[in-house]
A and B are shown apart, each in its own frame.
Chain A
Amino acid sequence: MAMAMAIDDAPELDFSAYSTSPTTTTTTTTDDEYGCNWNDWSPVVDWNALSGGQDDFQDLIESMIDESGLQPARSGVNYQEGSNSPSTDTTMFTDEEASRDDSKGLRLVHLLMAAAEALTGVNKCHELARVILVRLKELVSPTDGTNMERLAAHFTEALQGLLEGAGGGHGKHLISSGPQRDDHHHHHQTDVLAAFQLMQDLSPYVKFGHFTANQAILEAVTQHRRVHIVDYDIMEGIQWASLMQALVSRKDGPPSPHLRITALSRGGNGRRSIGTIQETGRRLTAFAASIGQPFSFHQCRLDSDETFRPSSLKLVRGEALIFNCMLHLPHFCYRAPESVASFLSGAKTLNPRLVTLVEEELGPIGDQGFVSRFIDSLHHYSALYDSLEAGFPMQCRARALVERVFLGPRIVGSLARIYRTCGDKEGGSWREWLGATGFRPVDISFANHCQAKLLLGLFNDGYRVEELASNRLVLGWKSRRLLSASIWTSPFDSDSSIS
């Protein structure tokens, strides 16, 4: 059962911003500017797997510190400590550059905040915002520098987009590829695939959502012979491979249940998935055949405004109906809230056995304006960047690809969404929406929770899973919550007859 990546005899590295070794200054929540506590234990990584033997280790670290482009774990949090006590902060690192990075990181954050403020604050001034963004662009690059710098570059770009969009109408058009966006976001398919595979290897992010949802589905359909899953955004259908395998090997209940998947398809081509839905369908069918899983695939067209109409679904009596809503995929396109809402409320009318929802976990929204949500977003992606780096500090180019292909565009999308919805109450999370609409929570089983812990155990120690509600598992990196998987069932006492 030796699945953990940690090795006990790895030398303790003090290069992480949130190490708790005595020389650090991090302690209690110092700067509550970002309201989170970054003083967790530094990640212990299976270095032997990644680099040479233990002997090369020190050299490795030296070279990392020396090499300009590869600052070790200069997380986005450094600015937090820098703001406290720059002098004591330098005791943390023996390296001059390190403290320079810290203050640079801090400067970047300040600039970003100022730009955000100028864009949307009480004293809105687009000109000022423009100037600040220009300055920012001089300082950062999306491919070089520390985590913070690369992150800042993407945020700068996002703000730039908002600025330009703000001039002529709301920002929605920025998200689907406008002409300017095309160059950036039209990625070669192999890039997208490569980045996706890397992301799968580097972090449990995608798998966590998929596996948690699948386990819940498996548990809900044990006694059913027919299972029908309506997938909001099937993308490449990766989620379903492991579900099919599990269905084929299940020991309880009727063997070889028939699986039917209906994928919602959209008219436009704002998607960044690899290939079309038809291709996904073919691939899933082939995979199912290869493992002997009875399977059929259907499409259901959404309206042009991406509204889901329950009547357009074909249903079969006695099947277990599942609505699957994964909103966390890295190459997930922005979906208008109205579309998601139509999907979920449509689900309600059909009395489904289960609704599985995975979404990004945001900080508390409340009545906060753009700037604070902007900062929250900065926090969020900073944690993401850090989580990728902590696990794989040497694979900076791999990470850069993932950042370029996925995280960058996502940042742009997130900010655009925040921009659009700040001030509205609709900034809340979908799970809150589900609860409010009347869906009933379904408990996360011990086995499901177990699986999640096991999964995280395959990656860096910094990941953790929390059960924040009986029906909700949350993936977090250090003290930052990243992803929420929640399970629901129909509001009505369903008596789905089992065929």
Chain B
Amino acid sequence: MFPRLIQSHEGLLGPDDFVGVGVVGGGGGGGGGNPGHRGDPCLVLTSDPKPRLRWTTDLHERFVDAVTQLGGASKATPKAIMRTMNVKGLTLFHLKSHLQKYRLGKQSGKDGADAPKDGLSGSYLLENPGSGNSTPSLPSSDLNEISGFGRNYEVKEALRAQMEMQSKLHLQVEAEKHLQIRQDAERRYMAMLERACKMLADQFIGSAIIDTENQKCQAYGVKMPRNLSIDPLGFYSHEVTAVHGTEDEVPPNLHSQRGDCSTESCLTSHESPRILALEESPAGGKKRAMGIDSTSAPLIWSEAKLKIRDVAVPQVSPHGLTGFGM
């Protein structure tokens, strides 16, 4: 119903989210009694109560001035408004929601009065139930003169929808935060999983146990597993090439453990046991010199690469370990 109500960068509430806005009897599930931050009564996802900003007449007038300066409600962006208004302590969050309401107010049939009266400060009608009959853009006195119960009801519905939208907006912001946090948690867990998996794979390599896909042990311990010809990590190509670059010096089975080398530490921490196992490798002397305790803190891969390449007798010094033997 209000196709351009939400700008694309807000992006997530579409027109279909606002069923019945402005339509008599449409009203959402929000209900008039709910405080602005909560949506459905059974909803859990609420935030810490944010300090509410009171939109006094003064402040609102400034806001309207800024908006007008910037070319109108649809042209003005919260950021620009913030700059123009130049009010200390005013955040984008406040502005975004206020702008939304303002736009909605403009669209739901204002009569040319931009500035709300005093009764419309705060979160719009919740703190001033007395003015509950007005839309933010209509002076309450005018409205009361408009005859008809129907008109009042319509307006109430519009208000209710507006409040609901405000709470939805808030929920949206919350949802975004939560999503971020949850994804991070999942990533951390996946990293744990990855390390465990590599440890496991590493033990196999170290003890020269091959899975059915690899045929036989060779001097380097393990023949390159089939899956290496596929580079599943073309996506993470920079890591891959780093490893390939040292292929001649590092045993090829290094690759086999790299299911995903996005975690450098995993990669390098597994270098060591394998290296220890390779007594016979031609470059074994060099490698053995790299004898790093497998329980050491992880090397930075590029550092290790340097050591392998450039240093005949590497003093590998990751985090305080000596280079030779164990």
A interface residue numbers (CB < 8 A to B): 1-4, 143, 182-183, 186, 188-191, 193-195, 197-198, 200-201, 207, 210-211, 214-215, 218-219, 222, 236-238, 241-242, 244-246, 249-253, 274-275, 279, 283, 286-287, 290-291, 392, 394-398, 400-401, 404, 443, 445-447, 450-451, 453-455, 457
B160 in contact (CB, < 8 A): no
Contacts of A210 in B (CB 8 A): 186
Contacts of B46 in A (CB 8 A): 251-252
In the complex, the answer to whether A447 meets B11 with C-beta atoms within 8 Å is no
Q: Which of B126-165 contact A (CB under 8 A)?
A: none
In angstroms, Cα B260 to Cα A290, docked, is 23
Select one of A182, A183, A191, A242 contacting B182, CB under 8 A. Answer: A242
Given A188-B225, A445-B40; A454-B12 close (CB under 8 Å) = yes
In the complex, the answer to whether A447 meets B185 with C-beta atoms within 8 Å is no
Given A450-B171, A455-B179; A195-B192 close (CB under 8 Å) = no
10 more A-B residue pairs beyond the given contacts A242-B182, A242-B185, A447-B174, with a C-beta to C-beta distance below 8 A? A188-B213, A193-B260, A201-B235, A210-B186, A222-B44, A241-B185, A274-B197, A279-B196, A286-B192, A404-B230
**Chain A binder among B251-259, B301-309, B318-326:** B251-259
Contacts of A401 in B (CB 8 A): 227, 230, 232
Contacts of B179 in A (CB 8 A): 211, 451, 454-455
How distant is B176 from chain A, measured CB to nearest CB, in Å?
6
In the complex, the answer to whether A191 meets B259 with C-beta atoms within 8 Å is yes
In the complex, the answer to whether A287 meets B12 with C-beta atoms within 8 Å is no
In the complex, the answer to whether B181 meets A241 with C-beta atoms within 8 Å is no
In angstroms, Cα B227 to Cα A404, docked, is 10
Contacts of B188 in A (CB 8 A): 241, 287, 290
B201 in contact (CB, < 8 A): yes
In the complex, the answer to whether B39 meets A400 with C-beta atoms within 8 Å is no
Given A2-B9, A190-B257, A401-B227; A238-B186 close (CB under 8 Å) = yes
Dominant SS among interface residues on chain A: helix
Select one of A190, A218, A453 contacting B258, CB under 8 A. Answer: A190
In the complex, the answer to whether A195 meets B232 with C-beta atoms within 8 Å is yes
8 residue pairs, one from A and one from B, having the closest CB atoms:
A190-B259, A241-B189, A194-B259, A245-B185, A242-B182, A447-B45, A219-B44, A401-B232
B217 in contact (CB, < 8 A): no
In the complex, the answer to whether A238 meets B212 with C-beta atoms within 8 Å is no
In angstroms, Cα B261 to Cα A256, docked, is 35
Given A193-B197, A198-B235, A283-B192; A186-B212 close (CB under 8 Å) = yes
In the complex, the answer to whether A1 meets B232 with C-beta atoms within 8 Å is no
How distant is B27 from chain A, measured CB to nearest CB, in Å?
15
In the complex, the answer to whether B44 meets A218 with C-beta atoms within 8 Å is yes
Q: Which of B183-207 contact A (CB under 8 A)?
A: 183-186, 188-190, 192-194, 196-198, 200-201
B58 in contact (CB, < 8 A): no
How distant is B148 from chain A, measured CB to nearest CB, in Å?
33
B interface residue numbers (CB < 8 A to A): 9-12, 39-40, 42-48, 168, 171-172, 174-176, 178-179, 181-186, 188-190, 192-194, 196-198, 200-201, 211-213, 225, 227, 230-235, 256-260, 262
In the complex, the answer to whether A397 meets B175 with C-beta atoms within 8 Å is no
Given A194-B232, A283-B196; A219-B12 close (CB under 8 Å) = no
In angstroms, Cα B190 to Cα A462, docked, is 26
Given A246-B178, A398-B234; A189-B227 close (CB under 8 Å) = no
Which residue of chain A has the shortest Cβ distance to B193 in the bound complex?
A236
Contacts of B10 in A (CB 8 A): 1
Given A211-B182, A445-B43, A454-B179; A190-B198 close (CB under 8 Å) = yes
How distant is A69 from chain B, measured CB to nearest CB, in Å?
13
Contacts of A454 in B (CB 8 A): 12, 172, 175-176, 179
In the complex, the answer to whether A447 meets B171 with C-beta atoms within 8 Å is yes
In the complex, the answer to whether B185 meets A291 with C-beta atoms within 8 Å is yes
In angstroms, Cα B74 to Cα A252, docked, is 37
Write 18 A-B pairs (CB below 8 A) sorted by A numbering: A1-B176, A186-B211, A188-B225, A188-B256, A190-B201, A191-B259, A193-B194, A197-B259, A241-B186, A241-B189, A252-B44, A252-B46, A275-B197, A395-B235, A398-B234, A401-B232, A445-B43, A447-B174
Given A4-B11, A450-B12; A246-B181 close (CB under 8 Å) = yes
Contacts of A451 in B (CB 8 A): 175, 178-179
In the complex, the answer to whether B200 meets A275 with C-beta atoms within 8 Å is yes
In the complex, the answer to whether A447 meets B234 with C-beta atoms within 8 Å is no
Contacts of A194 in B (CB 8 A): 232-233, 259-260
Which residue of chain A has the shortest Cβ distance to B39 in the bound complex?
A446
In angstroms, Cα B58 to Cα A314, docked, is 63
Given A222-B44, A245-B181, A401-B230; A275-B12 close (CB under 8 Å) = no
